[in-house]
């Protein structure tokens, strides 16, 4: 009975491996007794997931008990500086035979997917080279011959298009067909009546059909060299650069990706890293949205405690100073040691200047701000609220700088270390957190209701924004 039980266990394990595992035999000449590596594309990264030692016959086996996710994989040489591509999808038990001296002759056993992929690569290489040669020739011939060459290039492009469409028609759910559909960009119709009346027709059509054929729950797309670039192009060139528009697109993608853990992980990591440090001021709202909807009340097996803390801390630093919202009030002692509030200033514009009296850059910028104030901004009704944050200097450094540079028309307050410690000890966010101070000076421009017009500004940007608003009036 024990023997039968052991045999049954052995057979169960075998069938489980055959169904769920992978076994890729590789012959890679002329290497011997060296490690080779199995990796895959992951957006713009190339993670290595397995290694195998070549024997005296240049043979090695990549083997694992868990099936690999489908996509384009890489077999890397022992020095990790070179590699060649294979595809992995449903069938994960096959052989690869290659020689680095004639890599174009790589062959496969028991892998029709790789045979098809190789044929596609060879077809594209041959026809791509023909197009390149014709394009180079076109610049050297007469106008009549140039027209003839244009026709030849168009014929080759049609040939490529038909080849791709035939693959898609044959097996629309196959790996290569899926990749081709995901790479395909919309063909904007030129004979549509709407194109004659709507100057935005081409843009609208292209954007509407950009993701045709792409399933955001198919994680095979993650393991390709083009999918992340496709997302980047869409977000940077087709989505209106404004927080609500971006949020709508992210939620669309992540909504479908939520049923596939690997795709969800890929998109969340991509977007949270993209908006962690904002390129544009309005992106603060995007990051806070990502935190509140996808991280604040959720955990993921791939997210470390340190990563969760970084995301959380950054979100809390941004929540209090999102563009268009009211700035946090400040209540600190002024130069006469009298408690003064930011909201006590009545002005169409308030420039909040958070600086350090020992900061060399601050000492350079503040006098320039005062000069711009006297030359232009004063007539617009702008007022200064300057918060000096104590670091290594003394309170006297602050007072001396104000006196020496005659910053007499500014409202000045002092944020001592003791005041900061008292707030944080009481569980109240410090002003540095409320204003997301990453460097000195940090400049915020507020409107008459103390709403944030713009933040993290340079002098030139302040000047441009004020001029624009005045002209708009």
Could you write out the DSSP letters of every residue in 390-435? PSSS-HHHHHHHHHHTT-TTSEEEEE-HHHHHHHHHTT---HHHHT
Predicted local distance difference test score (pLDDT) of residue 392 = 86
Predicted local distance difference test score (pLDDT) of residue 17 = 41
Rounded to whole angstroms, the Cα distance separating 378 from 407 reads: 13
Rounded to whole angstroms, the Cα distance separating 417 from 135 reads: 67
> Going by C-beta distance under 8 Å and a sequence separation of 6 or more, which residues neighbour residue 97?
27, 106, 107, 108, 109
Three-state DSSP state, 382: strand
Burial class for 133, CB neighbours closer than 10 Å (0-12, 13-18, 19+)? exposed
Q: In this structure, what DSSP letter does residue 43 have?
A: T
Same domain for 274 and 406: no
Three-state DSSP state, 107: strand
Nearest 10 degrees: Cα torsion 437, 439, 441, 445:
-40
- 188 domain residue, yes or no: no
Question: Residue 24's domain is classified under what CATH number?
Answer: 2.60.40.1120
**Closest among 290, 282, 383 to 323, alpha carbons compared:** 282
Q: What is the pLDDT along the chain (473 residues), one digit of tens a residue?
A: 444 444 334 444 434 444 579 999 999 999 999 999 999 999 889 999 999 999 999 999 999 999 999 999 999 999 888 999 999 999 999 999 999 999 889 999 999 999 999 999 999 999 999 999 999 998 888 888 899 999 999 999 999 999 999 999 998 789 999 999 999 999 999 888 888 889 999 999 999 999 999 999 999 999 999 999 999 999 999 999 999 999 999 999 999 999 999 999 999 999 999 999 999 999 999 999 999 999 999 999 999 999 999 999 999 999 999 999 999 999 999 999 999 999 999 999 999 999 999 999 999 999 999 999 999 999 999 999 999 999 887 899 999 999 999 999 999 999 999 999 999 999 999 999 999 999 999 999 999 999 999 999 999 999 999 999 988 86
- 214 domain residue, yes or no: yes
Q: In this structure, what DSSP letter does residue 354 have?
A: E
Predicted local distance difference test score (pLDDT) of residue 85 = 97
Please say which residue of 268, 284, 319 terminates a domain: 319
Same domain for 346 and 244: no
Please say which residue of 110, 126, 161 terminates a domain: 110
- 325 domain residue, yes or no: no
Q: How many structural domains does the chain have?
A: 4
Domain that holds residue 411: 331-472
Distance of CA 214 to the CA centre of its chain: 19
Predicted local distance difference test score (pLDDT) of residue 19 = 59
Sign of CA dihedral 323, 328, 332, 338: positive
DSSP code per residue over 165-177: HHHHHH-TTSHHH
- 324 domain residue, yes or no: no
Predicted local distance difference test score (pLDDT) of residue 6 = 41
**Closest among 85, 305, 79 to 176, alpha carbons compared:** 85
Same domain for 314 and 442: no
- 189 domain residue, yes or no: no
Rounded to whole angstroms, the Cα distance separating 321 from 193 reads: 47
Please say which residue of 90, 110, 130 terminates a domain: 110
Predicted local distance difference test score (pLDDT) of residue 383 = 98
**Closest among 380, 378, 360, 356 to 369, alpha carbons compared:** 378
Residue 169: beta bridge partners? Answer: none
Nearest 10 degrees: Cα torsion 199, 202, 204, 210:
-170
Same domain for 467 and 347: yes
């Amino acid at each position: 009975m024990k023997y039968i039980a052991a045999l049954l266990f052995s057979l169960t394990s075998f069938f489980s491996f055959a169904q769920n595992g992978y076994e890729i035999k590789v012959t890679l000449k002329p290497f011997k007794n060296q490690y080779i590596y199995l990796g895959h594309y992951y957006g713009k990264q190339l993670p290595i997931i397995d290694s195998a030692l070549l024997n005296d016959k240049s043979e090695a086996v990549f083997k694992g008990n868990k099936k690999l996710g489908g996509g384009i994989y890489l077999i890397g040489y022992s020095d990790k500086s070179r590699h060649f591509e294979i595809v992995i999808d449903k069938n994960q038990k096959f052989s690869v035979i290659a020689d680095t001296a004639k890599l174009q002759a790589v062959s496969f056993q028991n892998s029709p997917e790789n045979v098809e992929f190789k044929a596609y690569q060879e077809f594209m290489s041959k026809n791509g080279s023909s197009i390149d040669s014709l394009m180079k020739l076109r610049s050297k011939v007469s106008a009549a011959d140039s027209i003839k060459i244009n026709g030849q290039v168009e014929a080759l492009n049609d040939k490529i298009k038909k080849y791709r469409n035939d693959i898609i028609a044959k097996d629309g759910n196959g790996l290569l067909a899926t990749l081709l559909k995901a790479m395909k960009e919309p063909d904007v119709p030129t004979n549509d009546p709407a194109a004659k009346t709507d100057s935005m027709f081409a843009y609208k059509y292209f954007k509407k059909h950009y993701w045709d054929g792409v399933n955001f729950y198919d994680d095979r797309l993650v393991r390709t060299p083009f999918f992340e670039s496709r997302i980047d192009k869409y977000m940077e060139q087709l989505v209106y650069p404004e927080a609500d528009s971006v949020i709508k697109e992210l939620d669309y993608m992540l909504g479908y990706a939520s049923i596939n853990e690997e795709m969800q992980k890929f998109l969340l990591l991509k977007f949270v890293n993209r908006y962690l440090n904002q390129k544009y001021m309005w992106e603060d709202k995007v990051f806070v949205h990502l935190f509140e909807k996808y991280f604040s009340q959720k955990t993921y097996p791939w997210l470390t405690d340190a990563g969760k803390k970084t995301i959380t801390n950054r979100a809390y630093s941004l929540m209090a100073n999102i563009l268009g919202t009211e700035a946090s009030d400040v209540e600190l002692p002024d130069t006469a040691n009298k408690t003064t509030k930011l909201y006590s200033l009545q002005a169409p514009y308030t420039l909040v200047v958070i600086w350090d009296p020992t900061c060399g850059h601050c000492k350079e910028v503040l006098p320039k701000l005062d000069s711009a104030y006297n030359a232009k901004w004063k007539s617009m009704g702008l007022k200064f609220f300057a918060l000096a944050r104590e670091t290594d200097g003394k309170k006297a450094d602050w007072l001396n700088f104000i006196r020496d540079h005659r910053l007499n028309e500014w409202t000045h307050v002092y944020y001592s270390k003791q005041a900061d410690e008292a707030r944080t000890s009481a569980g109240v966010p410090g002003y540095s957190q409320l204003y997301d101070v990453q460097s000195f000076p940090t400049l915020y421009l507020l409107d008459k209701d103390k709403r944030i017009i713009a933040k993290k500004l340079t002098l030139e940007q302040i000047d441009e924004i004020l001029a624009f608003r005045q002209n708009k009036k």
